[in-house]
Amino acid sequence: MAHPEADLLPELQEIDLYDPERYRTSSQHPAWARLREQAPMWAQHTPDGDRFWSATRHRDVAAILMDDKRFSSEYGTILAVAKGDIAGGRTINLMDQPHHARVRLPVMRTMSTRVSRERKERVREHVRRAVGDAFSSGEVVDVAAFAIHLPLAAIGDVIGIPRELWPQVPRLAMAGVAPGDPTYSAGGESHTLNNAHLELFSMFSELIQERRRNRRDDVISALLDIDFGGRPLSDHELLLNCYSFAMGAITTTPQVASHLILELCRQPHIWRRLRADPGLVPSAVEEALRWASPTNHLMRRVLAPVRVAGVQLEPGELVCTWVASANRDSAVFDDPDTFDPGRTPNPHLAFGVGAHRCIGGPPAQVVLAVLLEEMLDAVQEMSLAGEVTHMRSNFINGITRLPVLFRPRPGGGAAVGAASMASSR
């Protein structure tokens, strides 16, 4: 895809980064390109009248996310809760130091790079079950529908969610993040959200009770044993943290798979290049992360006076860092609007950066690599087979429908997976 031409970029007064509907019907990349160029810190109001600044350049986004002393996560990190998140201070992603480290450090070991790579073949078995015969049936498959099952293949065991519950959890999680999207909404937005919360919280509540009796090597058990400044996490804090891990995984990982497959359909030469050189799988996964940037933005609240891109910010102000924009910044990436599966280095910010950098990055990278390896083994060619629909959300860059026809590769083999596994070490 070519770089958006300057005369096709919207004027500043036409830009609205809040309106969720715009993300469903069009790309915001031209707007972000205009802002990076002309207004790298740009103020807008939410429909409720709360002003937020938008940072769109890679260097400003990275600087803000790295500076957790002056930019707080406790107030809330998504625009939808610009009035303040009720879970603030009580769950890992919405905590400042020292509370944050008390939760993060004990849990990290369950999904480190080493542990995640060691689990790769188990993840492959789960992926095969989740994908079924999607690649070989010769029928049109909705990739978005099977991709939502990838996160639990990667991390269901690690969080501690029993396998019999894996089929229903992803849809509830998606309803939790996009209750207004027609794909997940049932009986209205607030009913959908309440129902998703009720179901997920009661599932985790039972699992927590069970782990109180029998600890295992999983996230739920690790959370139960946390020393949270001289006390354990309360029942409510435990629930909120379990929810954060499930949501963190399920709302993001599938989007990388869907955006990658969409691009492979649109640009068959990328697929041919990957087939010719399966050693590109690890860099292709990183490029897919940059390209998809599943979380469009991460919000922070200013704690102390600070200047960003010439703008003076005062305590209490809200700043939205647009990760999706930073990942297309030509100051950092050559040809940022070109999907290059061999791109190295690739300093994308899809997992964030700094103290809150995604804790689930390693398992996400493993499951995406496995998916691509499985496709290389099984698929000859693929093509779009219907309309693609996007999620109505300013937070998640989601695809809700992606009909694809996969043409199976005659007599697929195991050699491809082995080649790319060797190069990912």
List binders of ligand HEM among 64-103 (CB under 6 A).
Answer: 65, 73, 77, 92-93
Check: CB of residue 404 under 8 Å from CB of residue 385: yes
Site string for ligand HEM, 38-67 (x = CB under 6 A): ---------------------------x--
In sequence order, what E strands does 278-364 have?
A: 297-302, 306-308, 311-313, 318-322
Check: CB of residue 4 under 8 Å from CB of residue 337: yes
CB of 5 to ligand HEM, least distance (A): 29
In the list 226, 238, 350, 366, the residue contacting ligand HEM (rule: CB under 6 A) is 350
Check: CB of residue 360 under 8 Å from CB of residue 111: yes
Is the alpha carbon torsion for 142, 146, 148, 151 positive or negative? negative
**Bridge-partner residues for 299, per DSSP?**
320
Check: CB of residue 293 under 8 Å from CB of residue 27: no
Find the part of the chain contacting ligand HEM (CB under 6 A) among 82-90, 115-123, 294-302, 374-382.
294-302
Of 103 and 270, the one with the shorter C-beta distance to ligand HEM is 103
**156: contact with ligand HEM by CB under 6 A:** no
CB of 12 to ligand HEM, least distance (A): 26
CB of 255 to ligand HEM, least distance (A): 7
Rounded Cα distance, 391 and 389, in Å:
7
Of 363 and 417, the one with the shorter C-beta distance to ligand HEM is 363
Residue 119 DSSP class:
T
Question: What would the two tokens of residue 403 be?
Answer: 């009909």
**254: contact with ligand HEM by CB under 6 A:** no
In the list 249, 319, 324, 421, the residue contacting ligand HEM (rule: CB under 6 A) is 249
The CB-based long-range contact list for 410-414 (8 Å cut-off, 24+ gap) reads 410/380, 412/136, 412/377, 412/378, 413/377, 414/377
Task: Kindly list the residues in this chain that would bind ligand HEM in the complex (CB under 6 A).
Answer: 65, 73, 77, 92-93, 104, 111, 151, 154-155, 244-245, 248-249, 252-253, 256, 289, 294-295, 298, 350-352, 356, 358-360, 363-364
